[in-house]
Amino acid sequence: MYAIEAVNLTKKYGDFVANEDINISIEQGEITAIVGENGAGKTTLMNMFFGLQRPTGGELKVQGKEVSFNSSLDAINCGLGMVHQHFKLVPSLTVFENILLGAELKKNFGIFGKAGFKSPIIDRSLERKTVQKLIDDYKFELNSEDIVDSISIGAKQRVEILKMLYRNVDILIFDEPTAVLTPQEVDELLASFKELKNQGKTIILITHKLREVMEVSDKVVVIKRGRVVGTRNTKDTDAAELARLMVGREVILNVNKEDRDTSRSKVVYSVKNLSTVNNFGKKVLDDISFDIKEGEILGVAGVEGNGQSELVRVLSGLMESTGGSVSLHNQDITNWWPGELRASGVGIVPEDRYAQGLCKDMTISDNLIAGYHNNPCLCKNGLLMKKEIEKQGDRLIEKYDIRIAERNGNVSQLSGGNAQKIIVAREFDSDPKLLLVSQPTRGVDIGSIEFIHRKILELRAAGKAILLVSSELSEIMNLSDRIIVMYKGKIVGELPGKNAGSERLGLMMAGLPAE
Amino acid sequence: MKKRDTILRSIYNVLFPVIGALFLGGIVIAAIGENPFTTYAIMIQKSLLSGGGLLKTLHFAAPLILTGLAIAITFKANIFNMGVEGQAVLGAFFAGVVGFTVKGLPPVLHIGLCVLTGMVVGMLFALIPAVLKAYFNVNEMVVTLMLNYVVVEIVKFLSQGVFKDPGSGYVSTYPIADSAMFKKLFNSDLTAFFFIALIVFGLMYVVFKYSKLGYEVTAIGKNPEFSEATGMKVSRKIMTIMLISGAISGLAGAGFLMSEKFRFTLDFSGSPGLGWDGMLIALLGSHNPVGILIAAIFYSALKTGSDYISVFTNVPKDIVGVIQGMLILLLSVKFLNRNFNLADRLKAIWKKAGSKGRKAL
């Protein structure tokens, strides 16, 4: 008997097939990794497992019984739990309050020693004890009385896991659990996976990071274009084979970049003592200074939420700085509008693709001119030159290999990778002097990652200055000439890109300065 | 293929409410004991198929085309100028004031001056919510909506006081001078104002379809954060859009006064009012200039047609109010559908009920 078995599971949205004839059997007490590129249908599959979406065909069996979930509550009652990528916790409450949210333990008023009626008053001491016991049982490092806001991201994730464990689930689904963790926290998480497995839990891990798959899983299922393309025992396979299955061809996992000496190149971009506060008056950037030279990539590493987003927002004109200066080729461009920045030669690949980078409900060619629509070849006397715009659209679609079903279609029809390529095409093709690139490959398939990395390196070879902000450590380490690490709005240190070593980077990301 | 789909869908979106409203109106007419088909035939015959009727329809369509466009441009940017009514009334009032106080100008100049006054007043009045929205992030929907009541009181005060025509039996300002009136053309109701409305329509068509402003308005409406990040100064664009909307509204009011009413009375805008009709027309025309043109003519035809049905049949002209009400109701179905997937939900309920029914059998 399998823990979960999917038989010919199918999910269609209109004509679009998200999952087709998925047959997966997941053994009790094993760790099964489900890998695939973004848009391959992993998340849809998991949402069907967890009752968030209903399959349009096939059947789903849990512990041998056929089930049909109407909501995630049904799934939890069947012993399935999911830990989402974005945590659903109340920051101002304590760990134990979060875990028991919705299942509070009430004070019991016993009459003559018998079990009496339940009162509406929460029994905090009982709650605390219950949760602490749970934490000890699973050997998690957590204090039940800490306020969630003050604990680390890794700890928050453990709270999420405990939330599920408290509800007696036997099968845990993890959706991209390591995306927000430092390397050390990833190791801790992988260790707790093993501990959970020892306690007899079944784990399903959705990821595209092959290192974790190789390290922790027993079985790997590869999904591509909504179908299962391969099932392997982890010990019989390797990362290269899995990558090939995912993409359908050989993939170069490491970028080869030529070394070059930039010590005598000209400084293009210079940021001095930059500071800013957020809407709540909290200082989120504190005295940031760095230079970028011609043909140099400066990587910004750090755990998410340590000021990298704000740095990009300030540099790209979406947030005002409260102190310090920014200059491009010795021209002061502090607090310029995004339009002025683009006109002066700053290309911007924003962090949030669909919020700041693209307008989903506009056509591809309209998106390809956004930010550059004042350009005299595209716009004369306030009227847009439709023909020129279409011509440019065709040219960029061809040059940047954007795969589209239909030229006049909207961006919302594109996969993450192709949508990102639109931004890349728009910003890279405008011949910028400086590129601000933020999370260029988040949620992007391997093929597009390869392509975007190559384009970034091409621009580096052409002598552009590039600021690269990414939470993907391997990306930073592979591409950057120098790496600065941010922690709580400050730069804690700088490392050369070559041989930075994830261990050292990880320590700096946790706030320990480089020795 | 996709494009054809969307066109089909938009036709369906417009035709379904129109046909539905006419159908429900037909039931009401039948309930009165009249034949709905002959009633509708008379309506269409008199308002669209006869020469004089058609020109009358076009004449009344002119201000509606303008208010429809004034609303559409703001809605497109996802800003809600609910104050078109107030801006139109205020514009009309001051156009009227200029119309009867300034004397001795040649007609072309006088008309031009009045029209300009109406537009500027409409613009200035739209400036209040525009500044509040763009620089203080005050909800424009509330401000514009409330300012309509301010307008009602202002014009009431002024037309009962300083500008009251003592010769008139009811509250009214002086009639405008002959030189400020749009002259009737072709021996019908139609005036040059209709052609001004057509020119504005042409301009707005180009703005929506081909201009940078139209592109930016669409982008702002669909994703303001994206627009800001790609260098469109959103707050400044909001000002521009509101001012354009105010100017067109003012023009609508001024033109209506100078081509039809000739003096300002308290019921100038009618009921429900030019601005509110314009809102319905913008919705019916899916915020698309061509759609608005057609919708305005259709709507105006309903109104002119209604004058005739009470003459030729026993159906009261208020039936048009019923049809308008149904139209609003059915148009809102479109929004429910878009925002809450009403059709899908109904389908699901239907299916469920169906399968239960089968099981019970």
Q: Report the pLDDT value the prediction gives residue A265, as an integer from 0 to 100.
A: 76
- Reported pTM: 0.72
A479, pLDDT greater than 90:
no
DSSP secondary structure string for all residues of A15-48: TEEEEEEEEEEE-TT-EEEEE--TTSSHHHHHHH
Position B337 pLDDT exceeds 70: no
Contact B233 A339 (CB under 8 A): yes
Which one of B213, B218, B233 has the shortest CB-CB distance to A362? B218
At residue A51, the 3 state secondary structure works out as coil
List for chain A the helix, strand, coil content (%; round to 5): 35, 30, 40
Question: pLDDT digit string (tens) for B57-110?
Answer: 888 889 999 999 999 888 888 888 888 889 999 999 998 888 888 887 888 888
Q: Strand, helix or coil at A232?
A: strand
What are the structure tokens assigned to A68, written together? 């049909």
Least confident of A17-26, A202-211, A370-379: A370-379
Assess whether pLDDT exceeds 80 at residue A493: yes
Q: How near does any CA of chain B get to the CA of A308, in Å?
A: 17
What pLDDT sits at residue B1? Answer: 41
- C-alpha torsion A459→A463→A467→A469, nearest 10: 30
For residue A390, is pLDDT > 60?
Answer: yes
Note whether A226 and A57 are within 8 A (CB): no
Stretch B117-128: mean pLDDT, rounded?
91
| Beta-strand relationship, A106-111 and A114-122 | antiparallel
* Half-sphere exposure of residue B244: CA atoms within 13 angstroms, side-chain side: 26
Which strand (E) or helix (H) includes residue A10? Answer: strand A4-13
pLDDT at position B246 is 92
Interchain contact, B228 vs A371, CB within 8 Å: no
- How do the residues of chain B divide into helix, strand and coil, expressed in percent and rounded to 5? 80, 0, 20
Across A260-269, B3-12, B34-43, the highest mean pLDDT is recorded for B34-43
Instruction: Give the model's confidence band at A461: pLDDT under 50 very low, under 70 low, under 90 confident, else very high.
Output: confident
Between vectors from CA B19 to CA B18 and to CA B20, what angle results, nearest 5°?
A: 90
Residue B120 has pLDDT above 90, yes or no: yes
Average pLDDT over residues B329-335: 76
Q: How many CB pairs under 8 A join A and B?
A: 74
Q: CA-CA distance, A222 to A277, in Å (whole number)? A: 45
Shortest Cα distance from B11 to chain A (angstroms)? Answer: 20
Let me know the angle formed at the C-alpha of A501 by A500 and A504, rounded to the nearest 5 degrees.
Answer: 90
Mean pLDDT across A191-210: 84
Secondary structure string (H, E, C) spanning B293-355 = HHHHHHHHHHHHHHHHHHHHCCCCCCHHHHHHHHHHHHHHHHHHHHHHCHHHHHHHHHHHHHH
Averaged pLDDT for residues B299-311: 82
- Please judge whether B225 and A356 are an interchain contact, meaning their C-beta atoms are less than 8 angstroms apart: yes
Q: Which residue among A338, A350, A358 places its CB closest to the CB of B231? A: A338
Chain mean position to CA B150? 20
H or E segment at A292? strand A283-293
Closest Cα of chain A to B313: distance in Å? 49
d(CA B160, nearest CA chain A) in Å: 45
pLDDT at A446: 75
Q: Which of B223, B235, B244, B338 to mutate to test the interface with A (most CBs of A within 10 A)?
A: B223
pLDDT tens string A123-152? 888 888 888 888 888 777 788 888 888 787
pLDDT at B11 over 80: no
Of B2, B212, B226, which has the smallest distance from its Cβ to A355's Cβ? B226
Q: A-chain residues within 8 Å CB-CB of B226? A: 355-359, 370
Is residue A239 within 8 A of residue A208, CB to CB? The reply is no
Shortest CB distance from A338 goes to which of B206, B213, B230?
B230
The Cα of A164 is separated from the nearest Cα of chain B by a number of Å equal to 31
pLDDT, residue B10, reads: 66
The strand pairing partners of A8, in sequence order, are none
Asked if pLDDT for residue A391 goes beyond 70, the answer is yes
**Per-residue pLDDT, B198:** 92
Q: How far apart are CA B131 and CA B118, in angstroms?
A: 20
Return the higher-pLDDT residue of A210 and A432: A432
User: ipTM score of the complex?
Assistant: 0.71
Subunit contact B215:A374, Cβ cutoff 8 A: no
Q: How high is the pLDDT of residue B322?
A: 84
- Picking from B225, B226, B231, the nearest residue to A337 by CB comes out as B231
pLDDT at B266 (0 to 100): 80
* pLDDT exceeds cutoff 50 at A250: yes
Q: Which amino acid is at A395?
A: R
In this predicted structure, the answer to whether residue A113 has a pLDDT above a threshold of 60 is: no
Strand pairing class (A202-207; A171-175)? parallel
Alpha carbons A65 and B62: distance in angstroms, whole number: 68
Residue-level pLDDT at B234: 84
Question: Average pLDDT, whole number, for chain A?
Answer: 81
Mutation target among A13, A56, A346, A356 for the B interface, most CBs of B within 10 A? A356
Structure tokens at A22: 């998925």
Domains in chain A: ranges and CATH = 4-247 (3.40.50.300), 267-509 (3.40.50.300)
